Amino acid sequence: MRTTLTALLLLALPLAAGAADNSPVGRWKTLDDETGKVMTIAEVYQAQNGKLAAKIVEAVDPAAATCTKCDGAKKGKPTVGMPILWNLSPIDGGWGGGEGYKPSAGMSFKAKSVKLVDGGNKLEVTGCKLFICKTATWVRVH
């Protein structure tokens, strides 16, 4: 009986790992729009309201450690712990309909869509300000 249970658990591990790749929950490298250099590590998680959210958990580039382009209460504050996506709901094979904040630009935006690509190894985050939309690609931290 114990051997059978152990075998079943071992068989289930690859399935659980594959299921994780269908979800953006986890840690992601955010990249500079112009250079492609890793700026921060963001963590996507399920918030208390059941929707997806993301926050910065590590500033890889020292220039990304402080919100220098922010204004108001965020100006000069550390970026670690700062929410960057929130209120994302499932939509069309991805998530969206939420809000976002880009500390490197000091800008709020509508989170139009968040979609897994490249077998779950990349996350395309599309944000819009008025009628202008841009897509950033995040890379999964393994």
| Residue 9 domain-assigned (yes or no) | no
| Residue 18 domain-assigned (yes or no) | no
* pLDDT for 34: 87
Structure-model confidence comparison of residues 22 and 64, the more confident one = 64
Find residue 58's DSSP bridge partners: 41
Structure-model confidence comparison of residues 13 and 30, the more confident one = 30
Domain residue limits at 88 = 24-140
Q: How many angstroms separate the CA atoms of 116 and 138, rounded?
A: 9
**Among 105, 141, 107, residue whose Cα is nearest residue 123:** 141
| Residue 1 domain-assigned (yes or no) | no
Count of H-run helices and E-run strands, the chain: 1, 9
Residue 8 has pLDDT above 90, yes or no: no
pTM over 0.85: no
| Residue 16 domain-assigned (yes or no) | no
pLDDT, one tens digit per residue, over 90-128 is 998 899 999 999 999 999 999 999 999 999 999 999 999
* pLDDT for 12: 40
* pLDDT for 21: 60
Which CATH number fits the domain that encloses residue 64? 2.40.128.520
Cβ neighbours for 62, distance < 8 A, ≥ 6 positions apart: none
| Residue 30 domain-assigned (yes or no) | yes
- For residue 106, the one-letter residue type is G
| Residue 11 domain-assigned (yes or no) | no
Q: How many angstroms separate the CA atoms of 30 and 136, rounded?
A: 8
**What is the domain count for the chain?**
1
Percent with pLDDT over 70 in the chain: 85
For residues 127 and 98, is the Cβ–Cβ distance under 8 A?
no
Residue 2 has pLDDT above 90, yes or no: no
